[in-house]
Structure 1
Amino acid sequence: MTIPDELQGDEDVFVSPATGRPLTKRGEATRRRLLEGAETVFAEQGYHEASIVKITERAGIGLGTFYLYYDSKQSIFEALVVDLNRRVRHSMSEAMAGADSRLEAERAGFAGFFRFTADHPALYRVVREAEFVSPETLRLHYSRIVEGYEAGLRTAQQGGEVDRALDPEVTAWALMGIGELIGMRFLLWERDGAGKPPEVLEPKVFDDMMRFIDNALAPRTAGEKDT
């Protein structure tokens, strides 16, 4: 089967707070530089130590230009959470495209997630800080992932690919938790002799995780359910 683009949401149209109008291509490129600068600064220094000056310096953009796009440090932080969320969902969805089964799609989707988090470890720190800086944005981040995930699981259950006894919402949250903590332990925390994190998740770790997930999702026969 072909896995639908279930994790890829439409990108919101950005409207400049200064002009009230959507951005031009040049304006969007400037906004992207600001978000990239914010990603680096928030990841390295945390929300409270970060500043608009540091973000604009990292982005190579004048301080006054910042306010054409965002009106505060919190507003660009929230925009960054939404942007990281959109990009990680895109990475997962792109990886899942063309999968022939739900279990194959799970494997591909997790691979896409780990590739993104290896390249963007800021995702972890930014999301953790969102719990205190902007709880509503934190909830949006997780909800956008779970909503699509849950829909995909329901479809797979109807097709007999996933155990129908499982609650799709609980399962979606559990799977998301597995991916997040495995990535934290074996990508974010892992270091080589030079203190560098790995560029990819160790294959054995990935295979062990997927064996666990495959066993959890696989349909059960009547006899298996009774034991």
Structure 2
Amino acid sequence: MGRGSKIEQAGMQQASGEKTPRTERGRRTLRKLLDAAASEFGEKGFHEASISGITRRAGVALGTFYTYFDSKDAIFRGLVKDMSDAVKQAAGEAVREPMSALEVERQALAAFLRFASEHKEVYRIIDEAEFVDPASYRAHYENTAARILERLKAGADKGELRSDLHEAQAWAIMGMNVFLGLRYAIWGSGDCDADEIARQANLLIGEGLSKN
């Protein structure tokens, strides 16, 4: 399954030490392996997926796999990091200055919804990480919440948001975004109106639900 530009441009540092590719050819091969792993894990799940299935999808020799990863667990960890970086990049590219704090959140959510619509496997893979590699799972959400909190604090510094912001508000926004993606990008009929969904969510952030 082909991968979109957001994933193609994401960080390529999943292999560590001497396994980090030093050449453009090596980086392309690593990209092929990660893309193939996304398809393999996304379709079969971690336990049914295999290294041979990944290399067949990537069109590389089985021995090539071990140039970059030590095991199926290792490439899964690398893939979770890769997808987390791609989500971060998709949201980051949607944010342009000058933009109000609420507009930043609206655009970031819309970008995430579009990304999830194009890469539905991201939900299965991240969810499986809770059991396969809990540290990667936790890091994904902690880093995402930290980015949201940083954006909110930037809005507060500009006088656009309340000054008594709490970490819990960033986690609440992240939780809303995750489940909106599940409902509309994953369970939807394929015609996810990312901009309208993000607009509705933005009304909740900006105005709340109280009548007055």
TM-score under structure 2 length normalisation: 0.87
AA matched with 1:133? V
Q: Contact between 2:106 and 2:201, CA under 8 Å: does it hold in 1?
A: no
Q: Contact between 1:41 and 1:54, CA under 8 Å: does it hold in 2?
A: yes
**Structure 2 vs 1, CA of residues 74 and 15 (structure 1 numbering), >3 Å: closer, same or farther?**
closer
Alignment correspondent of 1:128: 127
**Structure 2 vs 1, CA of residues 41 and 26 (structure 1 numbering), >3 Å: closer, same or farther?**
same
Give unpaired runs (5+ residues) of structure 1: 1-9, 192-196, 217-223
The Cα shift of 1:112 comes to 1.1
Matched, 1:110 2:109: yes
Post-superposition CA distance 1:175-216 (Å, at most 9, x none): 11111101101121123xxxxx33x33654333222112214
1:206 to 181, 184, 198: 198
Alignment correspondent of 2:7: none
Q: Equivalent residues in 2 for 1:29-44 (5 A)?
A: 29-44=28-43
Identity %: 37
**Structure 2 vs 1, CA of residues 21 and 95 (structure 1 numbering), >3 Å: closer, same or farther?**
closer
Q: Contact between 1:149 and 1:172, CA under 8 Å: does it hold in 2?
A: yes
The Cα shift of 1:16 comes to 5.9
User: Which whole-Å CA distance do the structure 1 matches of 2:195 and 2:15 have between them?
Assistant: 43
Alignment correspondent of 1:50: 49
TM-score under structure 1 length normalisation: 0.81
**Structure 2 vs 1, CA of residues 13 and 206 (structure 1 numbering), >3 Å: closer, same or farther?**
closer
Alignment correspondent of 2:160: 161
> Which secondary structure state, in structure 1, belongs to the residue aligned with residue 161 of structure 2?
coil
User: Which whole-Å CA distance do the structure 2 matches of 1:94 and 1:205 have between them?
Assistant: 19
Q: Contact between 2:84 and 2:140, CA under 8 Å: does it hold in 1?
A: yes
Q: Which has the larger radius of gyration?
A: 1
Alignment correspondent of 1:182: 180
Q: Contact between 1:41 and 1:50, CA under 8 Å: does it hold in 2?
A: yes
> Which secondary structure state, in structure 2, belongs to the residue aligned with residue 161 of structure 1?
coil
> Which secondary structure state, in structure 1, belongs to the residue aligned with residue 55 of structure 2?
helix
Greater shift, 157-166 or 117-126, is seen at 157-166
Alignment correspondent of 1:221: none
Matched, 1:170 2:162: no
Q: Contact between 2:91 and 2:107, CA under 8 Å: does it hold in 1?
A: yes
Q: Contact between 1:14 and 1:22, CA under 8 Å: does it hold in 2?
A: no
The Cα shift of 1:22 comes to 4.2
